[in-house]
Amino acid sequence: MPRLTLATVTIAAFAFGGSVTADPKRPTPDYDGRGNTDARPSDAVWIPRLALSPVYLAHEVIVRRPLEAVITTAERDHWPSRIEDLLTFGADRNITIFPTAMYDFGVEPSIGATLNAQNLAARGNSVSLHAATWGPQWWTFVADDRYASKGASEETRLELTRREDNLFVGIGPDVTHATSSRYGTQRIDASETLSQRVFGGSSITLVSGIRRTELRDGTCCGDPSLAQLIDDGMTAPPPGFGEASTTARIRAGLKLDSRAPRPAPGTGVYLEAHGEPNVDLSSGQSWIRYGGEAGVALDLDGRQRVLKLVASAELVDPLSSGAIPFYELAQLGGDNTMSGFLPGWMNGRSVATAGVAYTWPVWVWLDGQIRVSAGNAFGDHFDGFAPRELRLSADVGLTSIDARDHGFELLVGAGTETFEQGARITSFRIAIGTRMGM
């Protein structure tokens, strides 16, 4: 232990009850006959030592030694196994509770917990319950029952969510941060998913579900509420504002992926396509959501340094008369598409993005990730699409590798106005936390 000053040692000894016997230490032998003077650092180090001594003392007394006391006590008294006992159940300890936390600059943070039971009703069965909250204005509860066997899976899911921090900036390509506002939603979403792996990472997915959405007032993070903006005449009510909907949907998805899972090299191509007709059971209004994503990945050295070119598009077309509720439009922003923007920053009848992403290993459990993409929300069938109407999004961060259940991510990103508007940075995003886990 570096000994900074006699005072430090004395304080530490008193503070932490260091045991010192009365037996005197023997004199240190003169090992080399010259007093081993080269074993002592230069006297000049005392100047910086003296200057840093308050910080050193604070680190030792406030951080290091208390932590040592807690951790050694925890280990001696088997706290980890007690906590494990507390958080794991079942004959084979197949039921686990683990905490989750997420902070995303610009929306409400959340803390929660997930309870996961493996092989509960049968082998391959996984039941998960997840709850997270940040007060009465933000909570979510998810129940998920999944069976998986030989590449096939069946999943029943119920999700109840209330949040009052949903971002709404506007509809179409030309909206600006000046009109950003918040609104609240309360949703109940029940779904049934069947999935069959075809080969490699390729699969077919069928989803059917019903969703009840009620709108609420909401504010967050310095932004006014959408209702307030409408009341003040600052913006027109978007379609479906103030109306609840109960939507039934069926989604069919196909994913073709030539890439093998890690640790195989990440080179390959993939194509994902989906179609999802929706009908509002209360109004009879209907629409279809469809789109897809195509990507080419090149593992530069066969060691997971993967460069990926990605293009994606999604469209929402009405199947009956009447406008589609604004919260059912195609959206950009969030974790997967144009991550420099918060979720829901861009809304439109169609959205399109193209970009490049690069991931590389930085640790056994972490990849670095950098993504740059261009895209925007447009009108009906990309109406209004023009290169000058595109926005840029870039983000860099760390993400845990291949952890579906309890991943970690740290992301810093930014998004710009359209090129026509000057491409100035209009969105800034920091996200850190564990993924919801389901």
Partner 1 sequence: MRSIILFFTFIAACATTARPFPLREPLAVDPDRTPFAATCRAAPTHKDPHAIACTPEPYLSSLAWDALDNTIFARVSRGLAVDVGAEAANANALDEVADSSWFQNRSDVAATGGCAADELLPDPEQVADGAWVIDHGKDDGSTLGFRVDIPGKGKYLLKADTPEQPERSSAASVIGMAVYHAVGFNTPCEQVVYLRPSQLTLKPGLTVTGNTGSTHAFDAKALAQVLASSSHRGELVRMEASKWLPGASLGPFRYEGTRDDDPNDVVPHENRRELRGSRVLAAWLNHYDAREQNSLDVWFANDAKHARSPGYITHYMLDASDVLGGDWDPDDMTPRLGNSYYLDFTDIATDFVTLGAIERPWDREQKARGHEKFGFFSAERFDPDTWKSGYPNPAFLRMTERDAAWMARIIARFTPDEIRAIVAGGKFTSASDDEYLAEVLLARQHAILARYFARLSPLADVHVETDGRICATDLARERGVFSQFSYDGFARTGDRRVPIAIDVEAAGRTCFAPRSTANPAWRDDDPRRIAVFVVTNGTSAHAIAIHTYDLDQRGFRVVGLERR
Q: Tell me 379's DSSP state.
A: S
Q: How many CB atoms lie within 10 A of CB 145?
A: 18
Strand, helix or coil at 327? Answer: helix
If one asks whether residue 17 binds partner 1 (CB under 8 A), the answer comes out as no
**Cis peptide leading into 237, omega within 30 of 0?**
no
Helix then strand count (H, E) for the chain reads 5, 19
If one asks whether residue 56 binds partner 1 (CB under 8 A), the answer comes out as yes
Q: How far is the CB of 56 from partner 1 (least distance, A)?
A: 4
If one asks whether residue 48 binds partner 1 (CB under 8 A), the answer comes out as yes
Cβ proximity to partner 1, 50 vs 386, nearer residue: 50
Q: Which stretch binds partner 1 (CB under 8 A): 31-39, 152-160, 200-208, 242-250?
A: 31-39
CB 333 within 8 A of CB 314: no
Q: CA–CA separation, 246 vs 279, rounded Å?
A: 8
Task: Please report, as residue ranges, which positions from 67 to 96 form the binding site for partner 1 (by CB under 8 A).
Answer: 67-68, 71-72, 74-76, 78, 80-81, 84
Among 323, 362, 386, 425, binds partner 1 (CB under 8 A): 362
Return the residue matching tokens 């989604």. Answer: 251
Cβ proximity to partner 1, 256 vs 309, nearer residue: 309
CB 284 within 8 A of CB 230: no
Q: How many CB atoms lie within 10 A of CB 202?
A: 17
Q: How far is the CB of 25 from partner 1 (least distance, A)?
A: 5
Task: Please report, as residue ranges, which positions from 409 to 438 form the binding site for partner 1 (by CB under 8 A).
Answer: none
If one asks whether residue 404 binds partner 1 (CB under 8 A), the answer comes out as no
Cβ proximity to partner 1, 16 vs 199, nearer residue: 16
Q: How far is the CB of 20 from partner 1 (least distance, A)?
A: 5
Cβ proximity to partner 1, 85 vs 217, nearer residue: 85
Q: How far is the CB of 268 from partner 1 (least distance, A)?
A: 19
Q: CA–CA separation, 41 vs 55, rounded Å?
A: 21
CB 223 within 8 A of CB 183: no
CB 357 within 8 A of CB 371: yes
If one asks whether residue 303 binds partner 1 (CB under 8 A), the answer comes out as yes
Q: Which stretch binds partner 1 (CB under 8 A): 63-71, 228-236, 387-395, 428-436?
A: 63-71
**Cα dist from 437 to 87, 124, 374, 414, whole Å:** 16, 18, 29, 25
Strand, helix or coil at 329? Answer: coil
Q: How far is the CB of 103 from partner 1 (least distance, A)?
A: 20
Among 283, 305, 414, 423, binds partner 1 (CB under 8 A): 305
Q: Which of 269, 313, 321 is nearest to 291 (CA)?
A: 313
Among 6, 28, 233, 321, binds partner 1 (CB under 8 A): 28
Q: Which two tokens stand for residue 102?
A: 């997420």
Q: How far is the CB of 43 from partner 1 (least distance, A)?
A: 11
What angle, 0 to 180 degrees and rounded to 10, lies between the N-to-C axes of helices 6-16 and 65-76? 30
- Alpha carbon 321 to chain centroid distance? 37
If one asks whether residue 402 binds partner 1 (CB under 8 A), the answer comes out as no
If one asks whether residue 40 binds partner 1 (CB under 8 A), the answer comes out as yes
If one asks whether residue 407 binds partner 1 (CB under 8 A), the answer comes out as no
The length of the chain, given as a count of residues? 438
Cβ proximity to partner 1, 150 vs 404, nearer residue: 404
Among 7, 59, 217, 282, binds partner 1 (CB under 8 A): 59
Q: How far is the CB of 309 from partner 1 (least distance, A)?
A: 17
Q: CA–CA separation, 243 vs 160, rounded Å?
A: 18
Among 29, 136, 233, 422, binds partner 1 (CB under 8 A): 29
Q: CA–CA separation, 146 vs 123, rounded Å?
A: 11
Cβ proximity to partner 1, 23 vs 92, nearer residue: 23
Burial class, 111, CB count within 10 angstroms (exposed 0-12 / middle 13-18 / buried 19+) = middle
Question: Which residues are near partner 1 by CB under 8 A?
Answer: 1-4, 18-21, 23-42, 45, 48-49, 52, 55-56, 59-60, 63-64, 67-68, 71-72, 74-76, 78, 80-81, 84, 263, 301, 303, 305, 358, 360-366, 368, 370, 398
